């Protein structure tokens, strides 16, 4: 099973009283880090065969792609012009309650687990190879926190400034969740660990001096500039 390596943050609506959330599981036309683009119509057959209302509804709403952590039940899956629109009733369990709280705090993105059935693409140029996925077998849609998946944090970020802006926003949301969110102790510890990692890396980045060139007669092996090393470490931490 393949997982889309760039989660999609597309929450559309939340009804906390009815424990119902609506969000985009993936978007059409976005190239992921593996060079794949999901095309409109890719989910049509799988929804008919295994979506809500089918004879065998098998598409699950998971947490972090964990098959043992089913946090909701899809009542509707459909394609629109934007992507895969999902409506789910969140389970009345501790994991479900935590998930609902994270939805209200806007701390979730979404990612899909699928099998590629049909695709199109021209592989004559390996350096610019993009697959257009035209039919998928959808197994699950997951609610994910981008700090929990090494492939998700800053894929697609074009500049350091944009990366910092996103990290700052994430820090603000985590702080708010820890101060005001109705979450379990276990989830609270997880969010606190993520916040600590973000703050440590962030402080290291903004306090580092720019790299100083070595003298021309230096004989030691070249080392990575401190700023670049910190940035690399920062990406790994988050």
The residue written with tokens 């790299």 in the block is 211
Do 114 and 139 contact (CB within 8 A), yes or no?
Answer: yes
Residue, of 238 and 131, whose pLDDT is higher: 131
Does residue 99 sit in helix, strand or coil?
Answer: helix
Is the Cα dihedral 60, 63, 67, 71 positive or negative? negative
Q: Give the pLDDT score at 32.
A: 75
**Which residues fall within 8 angstroms of residue 39, CB to CB, at 6 or more apart?**
28, 29, 132, 133, 134
Specify whether 141 is located in the same domain as 73.
yes
CB 62 within 8 A of CB 141: yes
Q: Are residues 97 and 184 in the same domain?
A: no
157 plus 90 within the same structural domain: no
Q: What is the pLDDT, as a whole number, of residue 134? A: 96
Tokens for 145, please give them: 């926190």
53 belongs to a structural domain: yes
pLDDT in tens, 44-67: 999 999 999 999 999 999 998 999
User: In the structure, what pLDDT confidence band is assigned to residue 207 with cuts at 50, 70 and 90?
Assistant: low
The answer on pLDDT for 224 being more than 50 is no
What pLDDT sits at residue 205?
58
Question: What percent of the chain is predicted at pLDDT more than 90?
Answer: 38
- My answer on whether 174 and 112 are in the same domain is no
What count of other Cβ atoms lies within 10 Å of the Cβ of residue 142?
25
183 belongs to a structural domain = yes
Distance separating alpha carbons of residues 231 and 228, to the nearest angstrom: 5
Contact present, 111 and 8 (Cβ < 8 Å):
yes
Residue 204 domain-assigned (yes or no): yes
Q: Are residue 17 and residue 135 in the same domain, yes or no?
A: yes
Task: Let me know whether 63 and 105 are in one domain.
Answer: yes
Q: Find where tokens 């929990």 sit.
A: 148
pLDDT band at 191 (very low <50, low <70, confident <90, very high): confident
The tens digit of pLDDT for each residue in 118-163 reads: 999 866 666 677 889 999 999 999 998 764 433 333 333 334 555 6
46, 138 Cβ separation under 8 angstroms: yes
* Same domain assignment for residues 123 and 58: yes
Is the residue at 221 inside a domain?
no
Q: How confident is the model at residue 41 (pLDDT cuts 50, 70, 90)?
A: very high
Q: 167 and 134, same structural domain?
A: no
The 10 Å Cβ neighbour count of residue 13 is 9
222 belongs to a structural domain: no
Band (pLDDT 50/70/90 cuts) for residue 12 is confident
CB atoms under 10 Å from CB of 154, counted, come to 15
Q: What is the number of structural domains in the chain?
A: 2
Give yes or no: residues 201 and 158 share one domain. yes
H/E segment holding residue 121: none
Query: Is residue 219 situated within a structural domain?
Result: no
- Based on the fold, state whether residues 186 and 117 are members of the same structural domain: no
Percentage of the chain beyond pLDDT 70 is 68
Q: Which of 105, 128, 148 is the last residue of a domain?
A: 148
Helical H segments across 181-225, by residue range: 185-207
Q: Are residues 75 and 87 in contact, defined by beta-carbon separation less than 8 angstroms?
A: yes
| Mean predicted lDDT score pLDDT of the chain | 78
Per-residue pLDDT at 5: 47
Provide the residue range defining the domain that includes 123.
2-148
Say which residue, 238 or 204, is predicted with more confidence.
204
* Residue showing tokens 């070595």: 214
């Amino acid at each position: 099973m393949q997982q889309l390596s760039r989660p999609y943050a597309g929450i559309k609506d939340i009804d906390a009283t009815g424990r119902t959330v609506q969000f985009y599981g993936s978007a059409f036309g976005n190239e992921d880090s593996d060079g794949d683009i999901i095309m409109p119509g890719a989910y049509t057959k799988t929804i008919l065969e295994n979506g809500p209302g089918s004879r065998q509804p098998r598409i699950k709403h998971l947490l972090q792609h964990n098959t043992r952590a089913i946090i909701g039940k899809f009542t509707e899956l459909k394609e629109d012009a934007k992507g895969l629109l999902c409506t789910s009733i969140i389970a009345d369990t501790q994991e479900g309650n935590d998930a609902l709280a994270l939805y209200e705090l806007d701390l979730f993105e979404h990612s899909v687990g699928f099998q590629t059935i049909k695709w199109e693409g021209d592989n004559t140029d390996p350096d610019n190879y993009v697959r257009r996925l035209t039919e998928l077998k959808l197994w699950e849609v997951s609610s994910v926190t981008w700090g929990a998946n090494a492939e998700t944090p800053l894929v697609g970020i074009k500049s350091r400034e944009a990366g910092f802006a996103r990290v700052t926003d994430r820090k603000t949301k985590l702080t708010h969740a820890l101060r005001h969110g109705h979450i379990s102790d276990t989830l609270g510890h997880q969010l606190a660990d993520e916040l600590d990692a973000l703050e440590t890396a962030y402080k290291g980045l903004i306090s580092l001096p720019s790299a100083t060139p070595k003298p021309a007669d230096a004989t030691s092996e070249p080392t990575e500039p401190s700023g670049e090393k910190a940035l690399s470490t920062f990406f790994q931490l988050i």
